[in-house]
Structure 1
């Protein structure tokens, strides 16, 4: 964390501006706009102001806790994946002395933890995310974005961890992205893309409880793939139109590797 992720985090997520550092004697090549005339008049020679990057930023993570995140075809589910991603980013923020907070949401805001510094504060949030129990219905991302906009008074980083099985969030997402650096991380599973070849299968929606019997035929599997590819396209379109950077991480991926590649891509863009 301290060597690989903390350094990448610092280079990608910069502070909101510059703050005054000190006054020193003017030298050739310095910007004349920053000459401190009061000090210069007292000292009888030109002095200029120097500035440093305002490093401290606030990281706010919106974590979807709806029942659809408990789905998995492998060893971990999407909710556990969200916890792993949160841990990596939050601990990198702690290493850079930034504040970290979180907002857990389903069809309403489940809990909001105000940003603070310190590893103990982050470890408490990791525990809360990983201990969320199944049973929360729906996913109101629009409400989560609106709440974050109202509570984040100063420009910061806003990370969204969700499978984005929700609608009507583009307006609130756009408003959030106007004030903050927003990254949407879509949590996926291989079964979100490919339905297995099978006989008659009974499916149940974990949030509505509705059931459906389907045959895993070639035609059905193609329709299934086309449907979720279209959903992915709409998610990508909504995020890009809102000015939000995107990343997809699957339950079969190593989240650390995916995040490192993401950092590298953002650094090149910057």
Structure 2
């Protein structure tokens, strides 16, 4: 990484291992959980019946992996951040059909063999997308499905809830106006035009299913964790100014409980209706 399309968009950025350094535990508590309806929709669409193999690529602390694991025989979560993998393993201690691998998505297919479902949830944009999409297509059998989950779980929709504008201003005061990401910056944000890439990799679709937002309650501590769960405000970026930033952030939020409406979630189902393109 980066792929040519990422380089054209973000010439000053390439992936590095510090992208989410220090964020794993915060990610697990600060991101709003995927609702049970997400699993229901995937089960209904794919006819999951407790058999088959699922690979969750860029699994983080296992938020999606653990939601879908009860509906397959074997679930494998992979992530490049060792702390994310350790956090996922800790949260999954009671689930015997889940395994975790610390590896880059670009290193697939490894020794996984043919699988039935590949999922990406808030992760694909960090990868060498053409390369990883091609790897995913080769992992899947002819009847397999790729599920791309479009979601935003660190903050809600609308203007109610936590004072996100003030939080953004505070982060900017400490880190500057250009979005940080690992050792580099992302002045233009991350790419989101994955449809062309998936089709070029041999997928047909997508068939989209949208889940509506819902109302959740969040403590001030959960909102703090949400801030640290972001690549753009991961704890390591603040260096020796982290204690001061943390004091200012907690003072801004106080001890309030916030009510927030989540963003809708869209599930994009991509089918393997054609043979995978040759290498």
Q: TM-score normalised to the size of structure 2?
A: 0.35
> Which structure: larger Rg?
1
Q: Which one has more relative contact order, counting CA pairs under 8 Å at least 6 apart?
A: 2
